[in-house]
Amino acid sequence: MKTIKRNVKTLLASAITAACLFSTSAQALTLKLATDSGTQGSPAGDALKKWGELIEQKSGGDIEARVYYQNELGGQQEVFDLHVAGDVDVMLNWPMTSYDKRIGVIYTPYMTLSWDEALKAYSPGGWVNNMLGGVYQDIGLKFFGPWPEGFNGVGSRGKYALNIADADGLKVRTMTVFPAPQTMQALGYQTAAIDWGEVYTALQTGVVDGEAGNVIYWDYEYFRDSLDYFVQTKHFFMTGILSMNQEVWESMTEAQQKVVSEAAIEIMNEQFKAAREQDEHYIKKAQEAGMKYFEPSTEQLREFAKAAREQVWPMMDKEIGSEIMDTIRSNASPL
């Protein structure tokens, strides 16, 4: 009888130990997902949230995803720093160029001039996509692919510009990355490089007259009470990047890597299908809210593009290398 009791106790203890080990295993991998731009409920925030949900679903609970939205872990540079350091595992980012100037390839002005050209260039296997993958790998990040938004423009108040001459006297906020300020200067504007989290205050206090770093969604959603006009200058084709810290990636099992990668591809593919319609939706919403929207003519766009290419591209030869710029020159939209 005692032997039976001992055996029962032993089996019970083994079962408890196994259950504890299983529980620990099930919770062994927790991934921190973050975005540097996009609050909860924004298109970027929703994409990040869904990425986390897909990871949890596809892993069968083996991976837990903790999602952090815009400014919850710091500003754009701070969160990208955390990502490179491995303190943020997975990210939807608008990359900073502080680690490698070649990341600035994503901000090359007027590489493409139409949606069809841009989506082809940024799609898997496209010429821009291929360049970005190598750059991300060199700074210790696993590159899954782009999350396209569309062509950006200039939101302003009191005055707007459809040509270089009319931009004189307008001071606009640019992103704090090369060559954002240089591009807007080539287009005739005065510039102030300001972190995304400080743009609202800069507009309210009159530090700048406008914002020149985003597609219309951001200007409509955050600044429509401060901005009167939006000119879609198309100086950058804006896209976020889906990436993961390389060391964290390599520490996972093949099955876990497959889960994260497949989820990223699903998010990316959805955005490639939705981006243009999403942009058009917010153009309409901005107009309904009273913002006047302008799309430059072919001639006006050519004037902007010609000036940016002539003034900024030579700077980029020095910063990101002639080899990359030669690839851009060979593939860019003709003027």
Q: Does one domain contain both 72 and 160?
A: no
Question: Does one domain contain both 39 and 93?
Answer: yes
The reply to whether 168 and 294 lie within a common domain is yes
Under DSSP, is residue 66 helix (H, G, I), strand (E, B) or coil?
strand
Confirm whether 217 is domain-assigned. yes
CATH for 191: 3.40.190.170
Q: pLDDT-derived band of residue 99, with 50, 70 and 90 as boundaries?
A: confident
DSSP string, 88-147: S-EEEE---SSS-GGGGGGG-TTS--SHHHHHHHHSTTSHHHHHHHHHHHHTTEEEEEEE
Q: pLDDT at residue 202 above 80?
A: yes
Residue from 194, 187, 279 nearest 235 by CA:
187
Note the pLDDT of residue 114.
95
Q: Which domain holds residue 115?
A: 16-149+239-275
- pLDDT computed for residue 116 by the predictor: 94
Q: How distant is the alpha carbon of residue 86 from its chain centre?
A: 18
Q: In the chain, how many domains are there?
A: 2
Specify if 327 maps to a domain.
yes
> Within a domain: residue 37?
yes
- 125 and 27 fall within a common domain: yes
Is there a single domain that holds both residue 54 and residue 200?
no
Residue 72 within any structural domain of the chain? yes
State mean pLDDT over 3-24: 41
User: pLDDT at residue 9 above 70?
Assistant: no
Q: Is residue 5 part of a domain?
A: no
Average pLDDT of the residues in 286-301: 97
Residues 177/190, Cβ–Cβ less than 8 Å: no
Tens-digit pLDDT profile for residues 236-276: 999 999 999 999 999 999 999 999 999 999 999 999 999 99
What's the predicted TM-score (pTM) here? 0.83
| Percent of the chain predicted with pLDDT > 70 | 92
Residue 72 shares a structural domain with residue 218:
no
Q: What 3-state class would DSSP assign to 278?
A: helix
Q: Are 100 and 139 in contact (CB under 8 A)?
A: yes
Give φ, ψ of 73 to 5 degrees: -120, 5
